[in-house]
Amino acid sequence: MSEIKALLFDVFGTVVDWRTSLIDNFTAWGKTKGLKGDWTALVDGWRAAYMPSMDEVRKHPERGFVILDDLQRQSIEPLAAKLGITGLTSADFDYLTRGWHSLNPWPDSVGGLTRLKRKFIISPLSNGNVALLTNMAKHAGLPWDLVLSAEVFGHYKPDREAYLGAAKILGLTPGEVMLVAAHNNDLEAAQSFGLKTAFVPRVTEYGPHQNRDFKADGNWDYVVKDFNDLADKLGC
């Protein structure tokens, strides 16, 4: 087993609890603004639009890469209309989109990352854009060494360019890099391109709609309880 030198982290769901963060944020904000709406349905519907919106980017390389902020901004307006949430201005939609920049970490995230950083290069490898990930890190206190994003490689995960681009830009072989994720399909892609893999379950990520990723489904290099358990197992 070649020595692991860098740990790359999936972010949405793996490092931060996007669902609770957004629902709490929008519910409080809606009250302040006097806006009525099913914010939980909005958040769940928005997340459901995530994969199809990235597929559109993948299908149309001639249009150029579109960052996640712009995809999210495009999908929120029709979704709000569909859910009967009315009276939102353009600035309101901007506010909602910006909500993805200030998600809160799982309880073990900051402490675990801080330990892992002592021994490894730690970076997100997320479909979130660089500004989103940078602002999130400032908000949540995530102690990244650097910020790697699909935006840097012009390809969304699970495209090979994202995983192999991350190893290359760090000057490392794929086997010197390990992806940490709460999603088996992300790890499956990473493993297929030669990266090492660590699974951490985040079984409340989708709330009552969680229907997968309760446990490791593949032959991952590490299966851990949380980031502190990973730090224990990696000797940090």
Binding site for its own copies (CB under 8 A): 69, 121, 129-135, 137-138, 144-147, 151-152, 169-172
Closest distance to its own copies from the beta carbon of 130 (Å): 5
Q: Which is nearer to its own copies, 42 or 172 (CB)?
A: 172
Q: Which is nearer to its own copies, 146 or 203 (CB)?
A: 146
Residue 106: Cβ-neighbour burial (10 angstroms; 0-12, 13-18, 19+): buried
Closest distance to its own copies from the beta carbon of 169 (Å): 5
Q: Which is nearer to its own copies, 118 or 212 (CB)?
A: 118
135: its two tokens: 């602002």
Query: 6 phi and psi, to 5 degrees?
Result: -135, 140
115: its two tokens: 């330990």
Closest distance to its own copies from the beta carbon of 146 (Å): 4
Q: Which is nearer to its own copies, 82 or 138 (CB)?
A: 138
User: CB neighbours of 75 closer than 8 A, spacing ≥ 6?
Assistant: 46, 49, 53
Cβ atoms of 48 and 135 closer than 8 Å = no
Cα separation, 11 vs 60, in Å, equals 25
The edge-to-edge listing of strands for the beta sheet with 196-199 is: 148-149, 121-126, 6-9, 177-181, 196-199, 222-223
Q: Which is nearer to its own copies, 30 or 124 (CB)?
A: 124
Cα separation, 153 vs 104, in Å, equals 26
Q: Which is nearer to its own copies, 21 or 97 (CB)?
A: 97
Cα separation, 160 vs 225, in Å, equals 27
Cβ atoms of 142 and 136 closer than 8 Å = yes
Closest distance to its own copies from the beta carbon of 229 (Å): 24
Closest distance to its own copies from the beta carbon of 8 (Å): 12
Cβ atoms of 22 and 47 closer than 8 Å = no
Closest distance to its own copies from the beta carbon of 215 (Å): 33
